[in-house]
């Protein structure tokens, strides 16, 4: 038996330190909900999860862009619906102005409403969404993924000749009314086509948004599998290491009293 080198105590100290470290790590996992609380827990898993989280953030940003583009297109469609109703009334007025039982004075009254609606259509052509023109005719590049790729969203132009021919005409005479009616009918067909374009844009935007939402959800699940702690497993480990710490503390106390036995041999 020796006094200077208490090997059982040294061994107990080492085991107690290991158990205490594992207990602290298990406690950190339970309190944070994360399986990886330190890079040395899973260095590769941490790197992969960080890349996935960064990609998820980019996807969320791209989806926000898509949602704004959807609102942009919905606003376009709303104004086109108003334009369609205005043109329908202008066509009705053009037909009424061709009534041979009416005088030019009567037609001037119809023309007054016709011109008011024409001005309304010209005003719609100048509308914008957050400073971006709704009907400039420019094709817009809309974000479609987290890598910054875009797809073209076809623009609409309410200032083209199809519309301006209708808005610049008049129905003050029967001849002018007949010409105006031809222009208005063409403009009505154009509104129909433009609303179809908006519908196609909305379908593409919504499909892309749904795709990004699904991808973001999948990535979040993958990150969860890498980083999130299994509470049931960690609770079991915590109880285990807690018992080991208590047992190790008791055994260390016993090991530290062992050298005192030597004193009985020399007393």
Tell me: pLDDT of 1 over 60.
Answer: no
Which tens digit of pLDDT belongs to each residue from 231-248? 888 788 778 878 877 887
- The superfamily CATH assigns to domain 43-227 is f41 fragment of flagellin, N-terminal domain (1.20.1330.10)
Q: What are the residue ranges spanned by the domains of the chain?
A: 7-33+229-266, 43-227
Looking at residue 266, its pLDDT comes to: 66
Looking at residue 64, its pLDDT comes to: 94
CB 35 within 8 A of CB 230: yes
Average pLDDT over residues 210-227: 90
Looking at residue 203, its pLDDT comes to: 95
Average pLDDT over residues 128-152: 91
pTM: 0.78
Looking at residue 263, its pLDDT comes to: 66
Average pLDDT over residues 207-213: 94
CB 8 within 8 A of CB 258: yes
Average pLDDT over residues 65-89: 96
Average pLDDT over residues 8-35: 78
Looking at residue 120, its pLDDT comes to: 95
- Residue 4 vs residue 26, higher pLDDT: 26
């Amino acid at each position: 038996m020796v006094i200077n080198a208490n090997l059982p105590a040294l061994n107990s100290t080492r085991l107690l330190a290991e158990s205490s470290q594992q207990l602290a790590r298990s406690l950190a996992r339970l309190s944070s909900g994360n399986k990886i609380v330190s890079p040395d827990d899973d260095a590769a898993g941490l790197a992969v999860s960080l890349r996935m989280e960064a990609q998820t953030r980019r996807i969320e940003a791209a989806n926000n862009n898509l949602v704004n583009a959807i609102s942009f297109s919905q606003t376009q469609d709303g104004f086109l619906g108003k334009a369609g109703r205005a043109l329908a009334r202008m066509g009705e007025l053009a037909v009424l102005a061709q009534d041979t039982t009416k005088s030019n004075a009567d037609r001037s009254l119809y023309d007054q409403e016709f011109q008011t609606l024409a001005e309304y259509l010209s005003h719609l052509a100048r509308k914008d969404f957050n400073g971006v023109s709704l009907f400039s005719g420019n094709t817009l590049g809309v974000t479609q993924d987290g890598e910054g790729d875009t797809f073209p969203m076809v623009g609409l132009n309410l200032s083209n000749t199809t519309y301006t021919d209708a808005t610049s005409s008049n129905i003050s005479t029967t001849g002018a009314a007949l010409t105006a009616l031809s222009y208005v009918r063409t403009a009505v067909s154009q509104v129909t086509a433009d609303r179809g374009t908006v519908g196609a844009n909305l379908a593409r935007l919504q499909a892309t948004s749904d795709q990004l939402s699904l991808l973001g959800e999948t990535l979040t699940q993958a990150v969860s599998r890498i980083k999130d702690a299994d509470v049931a497993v960690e609770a079991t480990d915590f109880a285990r290491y807690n018992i080991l710490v208590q047992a190790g503390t008791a055994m260390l106390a016993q090991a530290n009293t062992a050298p005192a036995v030597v004193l009985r041999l020399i007393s």
